[in-house]
């Protein structure tokens, strides 16, 4: 799940007016903050209900997840210029929260310090976002050229993750987590700067792209912290 700009979403031309760019950025940050609410609600409900989608078939679960996610991407892109786009975006973040509940539930049930690991992953994600967004805001360097290389990295990452469903190589899994954190951290930098420079003029699509970056950083950090620092019951 990577930079939606690479799929041609949300490219509505450049903006030369600084005031307009700032408004898009403010709206993006506000909607990003709001999107965390349905994510938390979805995760809480998923944990409370013991959500497990095709637990015995990881590949089928992955394919269904991708189909639903890209269905949301298409619908949000079609409605990015009206209020329904916001509703669909919040619906998508709720769905992502439900999908996150398996990892949250596993962390809470498998490690005595599960709550601490979740807070550490949240803090780490917030720190990464703050650093990358700050660099995007103050740096004079254009990071847009990184997006194509990062997207190739995402595609290779997805292929490796699918392969490891069968291979089940622990060292590969750890490597993929670290690589994913690095890739999506870089995507935060690229996507935030794209809004600042006027490359993305639609705050709904900007929010969707940055949300996916943050979500992937958090999930991989949490999984990595669980493996490296989890105390088994």
Considering the domain boundaries, does residue 29 fall inside one?
Answer: yes
Which tokens hold the place of 90? 């919040």
Give the domain extent around 36.
14-229
Considering the domain boundaries, does residue 4 fall inside one?
Answer: no
Task: Let me know: does 98 contact 51? Beta carbons within 8 Å.
Answer: yes
Considering the domain boundaries, does residue 203 fall inside one?
Answer: yes
Confidence band (pLDDT; 50, 70, 90) for 12? very low
Confidence band (pLDDT; 50, 70, 90) for 55? low
Considering the domain boundaries, does residue 6 fall inside one?
Answer: no
Considering the domain boundaries, does residue 61 fall inside one?
Answer: yes
Entry pTM: 0.88
Confidence band (pLDDT; 50, 70, 90) for 11? very low
Considering the domain boundaries, does residue 122 fall inside one?
Answer: yes
**pLDDT computed for residue 168 by the predictor:** 83
Between 165 and 70, the more confident residue is: 70
Question: CA torsion, points 68, 154, 163, 128, in degrees to nearest 10?
Answer: -90
Considering the domain boundaries, does residue 8 fall inside one?
Answer: no
Considering the domain boundaries, does residue 192 fall inside one?
Answer: yes
How many domains in the chain?
Answer: 1
Residue 34's Cβ-count burial label (10 Å; 0-12, 13-18, 19+) is: middle
């Amino acid at each position: 799940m990577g930079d939606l700009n690479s799929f041609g979403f949300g490219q509505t031309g450049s903006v030369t007016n600084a005031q307009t760019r700032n408004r898009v950025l403010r709206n993006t940050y506000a909607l990003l903050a709001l999107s965390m609410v349905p994510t938390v609600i979805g995760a809480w409900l998923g944990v409370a209900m013991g959500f497990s989608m095709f637990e015995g078939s990881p590949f089928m679960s992955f394919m269904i997840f991708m189909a639903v996610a890209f269905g949301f991407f298409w619908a949000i892109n079609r409605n990015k210029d009206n209020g329904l786009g916001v509703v669909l975006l919040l619906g998508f973040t709720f769905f992502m929260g439900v999908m996150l509940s398996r990892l949250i539930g596993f962390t809470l049930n498998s490690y005595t310090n599960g709550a601490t690991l979740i807070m550490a992953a949240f803090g780490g994600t917030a720190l990464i976002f703050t650093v990358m967004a700050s660099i995007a805001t103050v740096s004079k360097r254009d990071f847009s050229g990184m997006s194509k290389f990062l997207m190739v990295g995402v595609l290779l990452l997805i292929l490796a993750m699918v392969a490891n469903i069968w291979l089940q190589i622990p060292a590969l899994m750890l490597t993929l987590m670290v690589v994913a954190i690095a890739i999506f951290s870089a995507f935060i930098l690229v996507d935030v700067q794209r809004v600042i420079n006027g490359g993305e003029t639609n705050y709904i699509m900007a929010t969707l792209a940055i949300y996916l970056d943050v979500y992937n950083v958090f999930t991989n950090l949490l999984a990595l912290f669980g493996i490296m620092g989890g105390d088994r019951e």
